[in-house]
C-alpha cells in the first residue's frame, strides 16, 4: 500500500508540471500526504528490527510473576527486559522443569554467570563484562528466534511506560565493545594461531604446530611458543612464523627474516629446543 501511495504521489507531481502546479500542491497537502503519514508509522513498525518494534504490553514485575506455568497457565520469562512466551517449552521452564527458576522474572545476569540463586537471578547486568554481554545477547537471540515476543517488563531496562532506561544504553555500549574485542581476538588468532595439543596420563601433555592448527588454514606451520597477552596472567600456546618480516611490520625491507621469533611476548617452552616443532608441557605444580 505504501508503495502505491508513493507511486501515486510521483505521478501527481509529474502531472503538476504539465497542468497546474498550484492546484496539484493543494491536492497533495489535503489528500495524498495525510494518507502517507497515517500509513507510514505502521509500515515502519512492521518492517523494523525487534529493538524498534511496537511494544505489545508493558509488564510490571508483579504482573510477570503470574506467568510461572502454575495451574496449567502460560509461562513467560524476560531477557534484557524483553518478555517471551515460552509455554511451548513448559517442560523446561514450567513447574518441575530444569529451568523453572527463569519463569516469571528477568534473570538476565544468571544466563552468563550460572548463578541460579537470588543473587544471580537479576536484571542488573552492570557488573558483566563485554564478552559476557555478547553471551547474553546470544541467549536473547535464541528466544527471539524460537519463542514469541509479548512485551517488555518494568525493571532495569524499561520504565513503567516502556521507555528505555540507562541500563539498556549501557547494554548496547558493552555489546558494541564486546564485538570490537572479539574482532581483535580473531585478528590475533590469525597472526598467532593456537597450537595443537594432547595429553595422556603416561606421557603428560605436549603442543605442536601444523598448517591447520587452531582451525586456521595457512601455508606455514610455525613453532610453538608461550604467548603472553595483555590482561591474561597465563600464556597460551601460539604457532609462530619463523621466516619473513615480523607481524607488527610486514612492509619492512630490513627485517632479519625471522618472522615473529624475536617478539618479546613469545617465549620458548621450558625443556624445549627453540627450533623444536613439538614441546612438552610444563608439569603442573
Instruction: Tell me the pLDDT tens digit for each residue of 126-153.
Output: 999 999 999 999 999 999 999 999 999 9
CA–chain centroid gap for 26, Å, is 50
pLDDT at 103 over 80: yes
Residue 28, Cβ density class (10 Å: 0-12 exposed, 13-18 middle, ≥19 buried) = middle
Quote the CA–CA distance of 243 and 261 in Å, as a whole number.
Answer: 8
User: What is the predicted pLDDT for the residue at 54?
Assistant: 65
- Given a cut of 80, is residue 259 above it in pLDDT? yes
Q: Topology of domain 58-184, per CATH?
A: Flavocytochrome B2; Chain A, domain 1 (3.10.120)
H or E segment and range at residue 198: strand 196-200
Quick check: 121 and 64 in contact, CB under 8 A?
A: no
Predicted pLDDT at 65: 98
185 vs 189: CA distance, rounded Å: 6
Beta strands in 135-195 (DSSP E): 148-153
pTM over 0.85? The answer is no
Q: What is the mean pLDDT of the segment spanning 242-263? A: 93
Domain boundaries, given as residue ranges, for the chain: 2-47, 58-184, 192-280
The residues that bridge with 196 in the sheet, in sequence order, are 208
Which residue has 510521483 as its cell numbers?
10
Top pLDDT among 67 and 1 is at 67
Give the integer Cα–Cα distance in Å for 277 and 208: 6
For the chain, the distance separating the N- and C-terminal CA atoms, rounded to the nearest angstrom, is: 72
Per-residue pLDDT reduced to its tens digit, 28-85: 445 444 443 343 333 333 343 444 556 679 999 999 999 999 999 999 999 999 999 9
Backbone angles phi, psi at 2, to 5 degrees: -60, -40
210 or 54: which leads in pLDDT: 210
| Band of pLDDT at residue 12, cut at 50, 70 and 90 | very low
**76-80, 105-109, 212-216, 232-236: segment of lowest average pLDDT:** 232-236
How far is 41 from 48, CA to CA, in rounded Å? Answer: 10
pLDDT of residue 285: 52
Amino acid at each position: 500500500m505504501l508503495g502505491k501511495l508513493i507511486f501515486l504521489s510521483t505521478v501527481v507531481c509529474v502531472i503538476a508540471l504539465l497542468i497546474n502546479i498550484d492546484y496539484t500542491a493543494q491536492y497533495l497537502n489535503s489528500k495524498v500526504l495525510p494518507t502517507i503519514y497515517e500509513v507510514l508509522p505502521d509500515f515502519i513498525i512492521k518492517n523494523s528490527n525487534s529493538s524498534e518494534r511496537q511494544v505489545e504490553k508493558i509488564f510490571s514485575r508483579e504482573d510477570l510473576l503470574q506467568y510461572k506455568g502454575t495451574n496449567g497457565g502460560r509461562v513467560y520469562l524476560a531477557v534484557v527486559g524483553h518478555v517471551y512466551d515460552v509455554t511451548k517449552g513448559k517442560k523446561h521452564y514450567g513447574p518441575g522443569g530444569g529451568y523453572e527458576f527463569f519463569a516469571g522474572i528477568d534473570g538476565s545476569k544468571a544466563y552468563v554467570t550460572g548463578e541460579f540463586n537470588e543473587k544471580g537471578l537479576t536484571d542488573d547486568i552492570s557488573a558483566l563484562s563485554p564478552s559476557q554481554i555478547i553471551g547474553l545477547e546470544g541467549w536473547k537471540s535464541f528466544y527471539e528466534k524460537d519463542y514469541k515476543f509479548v512485551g517488555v517488563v518494568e525493571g532495569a531496562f524499561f520504565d513503567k511506560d516502556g521507555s528505555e532506561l540507562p541500563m539498556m544504553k549501557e547494554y548496547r555500549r558493552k555489546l558494541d565493545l564486546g564485538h570490537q574485542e572479539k574482532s581483535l581476538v580473531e585478528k590475533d588468532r590469525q597472526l598467532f594461531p593456537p597450537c595443537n595439543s594432547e595429553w595422556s596420563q603416561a606421557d603428560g601433555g605436549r603442543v605442536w604446530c601444523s598448517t591447520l592448527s587452531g582451525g586456521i588454514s595457512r601455508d606455514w606451520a610455525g613453532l610453538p611458543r608461550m604467548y603472553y597477552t595483555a590482561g591474561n596472567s597465563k600464556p597460551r600456546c601460539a604457532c609462530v612464523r619463523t621466516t619473513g618480516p615480523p607481524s607488527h611490520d610486514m612492509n619492512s625491507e630490513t627485517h632479519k627474516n625471522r618472522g615473529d621469533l624475536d617478539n618479546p611476548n613469545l617465549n620458548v617452552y621450558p625443556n624445549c629446543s627453540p627450533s623444536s616443532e613439538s614441546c612438552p608441557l610444563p608439569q603442573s605444580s
